[in-house]
Amino acid sequence: MDLALATGRGPALLTNIEGRGPLVNDEDVVAFGYRDAEEQAAFGSQPLPRELLAFDLPDVRRRGIDAAARDAGAHLTRDGGPDGGLWIHVDADVLDDAIMPAVDYRLPGGLSWEELTTAIRIAIQSGRAVGLEVTIYNPKLDPGGEGARGLANVIGDALT
C-alpha cells in the first residue's frame, strides 16, 4: 500500500499532495524480493506497473543476491534516473517466515538475514541512500525480541 500511494495510486488526498502528483515515478522504483504476486492476483490486486523494475524472490535467487542488488542499484543510480537520493524501504515480511514470524502477513520462504543485509549494504554503498525505514514488523508477535534484534543487526551490519 505504501508503494501504491507513493507512486500515485489511491485517493488524491494521499497521492497528489499540494498538487505535485506522485512522490515517486514508477520508473524510479525497484520492488525487490517479493514473493506474493500470485496471491495478490488471486485477491484482485493490481499487478506491479511495467515501468517499475521488479525482482521477485525467484529472480533474486536465480541471479544471486549480489548481482540482483547491484542491478537494482544500477537502475536507481542510472543517468536520467531519479533526482536526489534513494530511499530504502524494507517490509519485514520480505524475510523468510522461519526467521521473521513477527509480521501480520506471513508467507513461507523469503530472504535470509544475510541476504537482506547484502541488499541494504549494496544500496548504501551506492552513495545515494538518504534514508531507510523498516515497516510491517509487529512487536506484539515477537515476545522474545528475536525479530527486533535480527532487524537491528541487519541495519547495523549493512552500515559497517
Q: Are 115 and 72 in contact (CB under 8 A)?
A: no
Could you give the CA distance from residue 26 to residue 3 in angstroms, rounded to a whole number? 9
Q: How sure is the predictor about 121, in pLDDT bands with cuts at 50, 70 and 90?
A: very high
Question: Does pLDDT of 51 surpass 80?
Answer: yes
- The mean per-residue pLDDT over the stretch 13-41 comes to 87
Query: pTM for the complete prediction?
Result: 0.90
Reduced to 3 states, what is the DSSP secondary structure of residue 129?
strand
What is the grid cell recorded at 44? Answer: 484482485
Encode pLDDT of 54-110 as tens digits.
999 999 999 999 999 999 999 988 887 777 789 999 999 999 999 999 999 888 899
Percent of the chain whose predicted confidence (pLDDT) is above 70:
100
Q: How sure is the predictor about 35, in pLDDT bands with cuts at 50, 70 and 90?
A: confident
Which pLDDT value is given to residue 135?
94
Question: Does pLDDT of 17 surpass 90?
Answer: no
Q: Looking at this protein, which amino acid is placed at residue 73? A: G
Question: Does pLDDT of 42 surpass 90?
Answer: no
What are the helix and strand counts (H, E) for the chain?
A: 7, 4
Positive or negative, the CA dihedral 28, 133, 9, 43 is positive
Superfamily for 2-159?
Answer: Ureohydrolase domain (3.40.800.10)
Could you give the CA distance from residue 37 to residue 35 in angstroms, rounded to a whole number? 6
